[in-house]
Amino acid sequence: MAPSKHLFLSFLFLLWGVSVSVQLNHTTLSVSFTLTSLSLSVNTTLKNMVRESLIAAAPPSPYNYKLAFKYSMALIVELPIGTPPQVQPMVLDTGSQLSWIQCHDKAPKRPPPTASFDPSLSSTFSTLPCNHPLCKPRIPDFTLPTSCDQNRLCHYSYFYADGTYAEGNLVREKFTFSPSLFTPPLILGCATQSTDPRGILGINRGRLSFASQSKITKFSYCVPARDARPGSAPSGSFYLGNNPNSKTFRYVQMLTFANSQRMPNLDPLAYTVPLQGIRIGGKKLNIPPRVFRPDAGGSGQTMVDSGSEFTYLVGAAYDKVREEVVRSVGPRMKRDYVYGGVADMCFDGNSAVEIGRLIGDMVFEFENGVEIVVPEERSLARVDGGVHCLGIASSDKLGAASNIIGNFHQQNLWVEFDLANRRLGFAAADCSRLAK
């Protein structure tokens, strides 16, 4: 799987123009999943004190539930969907909106995916007809507009930049965590054709995301450290609602944008953070803070995306990172080697430990002293054939104009998305241990 596969899910499908009214069942729900932490510091200015007082008054989330997930290049959570529930593997993706699952009928034309959803077995499953407002959006919500199929049902198509796709019908179905704990019927994609055997849990800030439709006010996850053994998938934690570890979190305010700001390179539904600088091996790189903020056309936005494997930086930032890496270990780089078409700072596997030591820790700096620290032993990602690459690539090679902090740089870190208060929280943690 290419390292940028799920990143494309993050950007390409911005469902801006759809208004959906959802009634939430009054049952209280709690959900959690396992991940990792880091230490951060916050400057207690008067402004922050006022902000914290407002946050304290925010309404609680109607859900409080914990689940585990598996982590390889993506965060794979298994969710119970339908009545009675059928467990479905889904990629946890904070960079995309519409959730979709694999579907098949009782008599499929070809063998269905190994873990696909059978609508005929669920009493709460329903389809969206062609006359539903979502099938006639004022602004197209998909890469191809929705359409009517031969049964007069609402058909959707998602085509991703790396050549993958999913298409099927839009439906309503609930997530059933227990007989007394479930969501209302949510609008989902029911894919009958796709190039990925798993579904997607779209959980960005859009109106059709899982978080918005379920009225979740916060969620968090802890990504475990990768296991060096090929094929291994350590477990992390995912919480819907309050996280008992939140007292250790340090927060940064999200940058938010009105839907009317239709800048060509801006994703207004992403979790945009105020990145201010990068340090490598204790050295602060000479990158102006404006490089990490959207300009007049939206270029330079910095987002936290669980659906992207690597971290991507715009040219002005990437060039400085590469310059420092070349200064430290340039002669060791594999010449003319580019992994997945995007990562070109790669090394032979037998020198990975030494290369990490020479490069040193990497630190992403935010406002108020908040930091994400990537220790030297996790600076390189094992890729094809035992080769190891720095987990940072150029946005230019991706054809994007944004900075994206991917899940590789979220290992052993709690990341909380506090939607009610428009902030993100971080804390270092041993995510594999917490998942047990």
Averaged confidence pLDDT in the chain? 82
Kindly report, residue by residue over 374-383, the tens digit of the pLDDT. Answer: 999 999 999 9
Higher pLDDT, 308 or 140: 308
Please tell me the distance from the alpha carbon of residue 67 to that of residue 81, in angstroms, as a whole number: 14
For residues 3 and 343, is the Cβ–Cβ distance under 8 A? Answer: yes
Kindly report, residue by residue over 178-228, the tens digit of the pLDDT. Answer: 888 899 999 999 998 888 889 999 999 998 999 999 999 999 999 999 876
pLDDT band, residue 435 (cuts 50/70/90): confident
Residue 24 has pLDDT above 60, yes or no: no
pLDDT (0 to 100) of residue 162: 59
pLDDT (0 to 100) of residue 13: 35
Residue 46 has pLDDT above 60, yes or no: no
All residues at 6 or more sequence positions from 147 whose CB lies less than 8 Å from its CB, including other chains = 135, 154, 155
All residues at 6 or more sequence positions from 110 whose CB lies less than 8 Å from its CB, including other chains = none
Kindly report, residue by residue over 269-322, the tens digit of the pLDDT. Answer: 999 999 999 999 999 999 999 999 999 899 999 999 999 999 999 999 999 999
pLDDT band, residue 144 (cuts 50/70/90): low
CATH fold of the domain at 5-246: Cathepsin D, subunit A; domain 1 (2.40.70)
pLDDT (0 to 100) of residue 27: 38
pLDDT (0 to 100) of residue 264: 87
For residues 174 and 124, is the Cβ–Cβ distance under 8 A? Answer: yes
Q: What mean pLDDT comes out for the span 239-263?
A: 89
Kindly report, residue by residue over 324-375, the tens digit of the pLDDT. Answer: 999 999 999 999 999 989 999 999 988 889 999 999 999 999 998 999 999 9
Indicate the Cα dihedral angle 417, 420, 422, 425, nearest 10°: -40
pLDDT band, residue 394 (cuts 50/70/90): very high
- 3-state SS, the chain, equals CCCCHHHHHHHCCCCCCCCCCCCCCCCCCEEEEECECECCCCCCCHHHHHHHHHHHCCCCCCCEEEEEEEECCCEEEEEEECCCCEEEEEEEECCCCCCEEEECCCCCCCCCCCCCECHHHCCCCEECECCCHHHCCCCCCCCEEEEECCCCEEEEEEECCCCCEEEEEEEEECEEEECCEECCCEEEEEEEEECCCCEEEECCCCCCCHHHHCCCCEEEEEECCCCCCCCCCCEEEEEECCCCCHHHCEEEECECCCCCCCCCCCCCCCCECCEEEEEECCEECCCCHHHHCCCCCCCCCEEECCCCCCEEECHHHHHHHHHHHHHHHHHHCCCCCCECCCECCEECHHHHHHHHHHHCCEEEEEHHHCEEEECHHHCEEECHHHCEEECEEEHHHHCCCCEEECHHHHECEEEEEECCCCEEEEEECCHHHHCC
Kindly report, residue by residue over 62-74, the tens digit of the pLDDT. Answer: 668 899 999 988 9
Angle at which helix 352-359 crosses helix 315-329, to 10 degrees, equals: 110
Please tell me the distance from the alpha carbon of residue 304 to that of residue 409, in angstroms, as a whole number: 10
Q: Beta 181-182 vs 176-178: how paired, if at all?
A: antiparallel
Query: Comparing 44-48, 145-149, 348-352, 366-370, which segment has the lowest mean pLDDT?
Result: 44-48
pLDDT (0 to 100) of residue 29: 41
pLDDT band, residue 135 (cuts 50/70/90): confident
- CA-based end-to-end distance of the chain: 28
pLDDT band, residue 41 (cuts 50/70/90): very low
pLDDT band, residue 89 (cuts 50/70/90): very high
- Distances in Å between the Cα of 250 and the Cα atoms of 40, 211, 230, 244, 428 are 6, 22, 34, 14, 10
Q: What mean pLDDT comes out for the span 130-158?
A: 72
Kindly report, residue by residue over 90-126, the tens digit of the pLDDT. Answer: 999 999 888 999 998 654 455 455 568 999 999 999 9
**Comma-separated ranges of CATH 2.40.70.10 domains in the chain:** 5-246, 248-428
Residue 16 has pLDDT above 70, yes or no: no
Which of 266, 253, 397, 393 minimizes the C-alpha distance to 317? 393
Q: Beta 65-71 vs 75-81: how paired, if at all?
A: antiparallel
Which of 83, 103, 92 minimizes the C-alpha distance to 34? 92
The token duo for 269 is 């539904």
The token duo for 168 is 């099927």
Residue 94 φ then ψ, to 5°: -80, 0
pLDDT (0 to 100) of residue 137: 61
Tell me whether the omega of the peptide bond preceding residue 145 falls within 30 degrees of 0, making it cis: no
Please tell me the distance from the alpha carbon of residue 304 to that of residue 95, in angstroms, as a whole number: 8
pTM: 0.83
Q: What mean pLDDT comes out for the span 147-163?
A: 75
Q: In the CATH hierarchy, which top-level class contains the domain 248-428?
A: mainly beta
Using CB atoms within 10 Å of the CB of residue 83, give its burial: 0 to 12 exposed, 13 to 18 middle, 19+ buried.
Answer: middle
For residues 201 and 93, is the Cβ–Cβ distance under 8 A? Answer: yes
Q: Percent of the chain, pLDDT > 70?
A: 78
For residues 313 and 341, is the Cβ–Cβ distance under 8 A? Answer: no
In degrees, to the nearest 5, what angle opens at C-alpha 332 toward C-alphas 330 and 336?
85
The token duo for 205 is 């800030």
Residues with a catalytic annotation lie at 93, 305
